[in-house]
Amino acid sequence: MRRMVTTVGSVAAAGGDKGGGKGGSRGSGGTQRAAFALPGRELFQRRRRGPAAPLAKGPAKAPAKGPVKGPVKGLLKGKDASGAKPSRPPKASRARGLGRRLARAVVGTVALLGLAVCAAVIVKLTLTPSPASVGIAHTNLHPGTSIRLYLDQPSVREALLQIGGNILIGVPFGLLLPVITPRARGLLRVVLICSLAVLMLEIAQHFFVEGRSFDIDDVILAALGAALGYLPLGRRFSLRMHPDHRHWWQRQVDVVRRRRPGRG
């Protein structure tokens, strides 16, 4: 500032000498006052604004791209917010799970093939014409009539063949069907599916097969066979094959139990 004042003062003095007289002195005084006023005002404004930030030379640099740190990096690597990795099952348990799935697939395939073979045998036995029974066969719509007729026969072997054969027709439904699909699990479902299948066979042989007739006792005995096949083994095999499956009414019962307040 001293340099500016000295320079402006010298310039003003030179102007006063050239102008001469009172006018020159007045001009020099006014110039000095203006020269002294500008630096002070500028200094006051700089003090109010504060020191100016130095200008950066060259183009602005982008922020450095470093590795992602913090919880975001942990989430990208499969960690939780605390930074710990979630526990993974050991290789032995994963191998056991894979082996179980493969075993279930093999058992389900075998059960499906077994049911298909049994169905083919049943269709062949029930839909084969019997010309020798043309005059003997008769339609039975009264439950129990044919069963009493079988029991009244003098030959026990003949009675066992008639009753036991009709019971064996329904056993594959109760034994294999719940293993193939968990939706067929349940005594009522197995009995209904078997009854519908045998009912269709009875209707077909009554109308299209010679020497065969409709018998409601055959449907009843087949349904009994399905129940006998389901209760001892079919249900147990189905629970082993499909342990996580639950019917809709079981899920509703679970919902009601969860909503019920705890007893304390």
pLDDT at 125 > cutoff 80: yes
Give mean pLDDT, residues 154-181.
91
- Say yes or no to pLDDT of 179 above 60: yes
8 A C-beta contact, residue 5 and residue 35: yes
pLDDT > 90 in the chain, percent: 31
Position 74 pLDDT exceeds 70: no
- Output the pLDDT for position 23: 44
The DSSP element (H or E) to which 100 belongs, if any, is helix 91-126
For Cα atoms 205, 146, 162, give the angle at the middle one, nearest 5 degrees: 75
- Could you give the angle at which helices 216-229 and 156-180 cross, rounded to 10 degrees? 60
Q: What would the mean pLDDT of 240-249 be, rounded to a whole number? A: 79
Query: What pLDDT does 66 receive?
Result: 52
Q: Measuring CA to CA, which residue among 146, 129, 109, 111 is closest to residue 222? A: 146
pTM: 0.59
What's the whole-number mean pLDDT along residues 51-55?
52
Residue 20: the pLDDT is 44
Contact criterion met (CB below 8 Å) for 237 and 181: no
Residue 170's CB is within 10 A of a number of other CB atoms, namely 30
Residue 102 Rama label (left phi>0; alpha psi -120 to 50; beta): alpha
Q: What is the predicted pLDDT for the residue at 221? A: 95
Average pLDDT, the chain: 75
Asked if pLDDT for residue 39 goes beyond 90, the answer is no
pLDDT at res. 214: 93
Residue 177 has pLDDT above 80, yes or no: yes
Q: Is the pLDDT of residue 204 over 80?
A: yes
Task: Determine the average pLDDT of the residues in 33-58.
Answer: 52
Amino acid, res. 10: S
Radius of gyration of the chain from Cα atoms?
51
pLDDT tens digit string along 61-72? 555 555 555 454
Higher per-residue confidence, 189 vs 94: 189
pLDDT tens-digit map of 93-112: 777 778 888 888 899 999 99
Instruction: Say if CB 115 and CB 193 are below 8 A apart.
Output: no
What integer pLDDT is reported at residue 52 of this predicted model?
Answer: 53
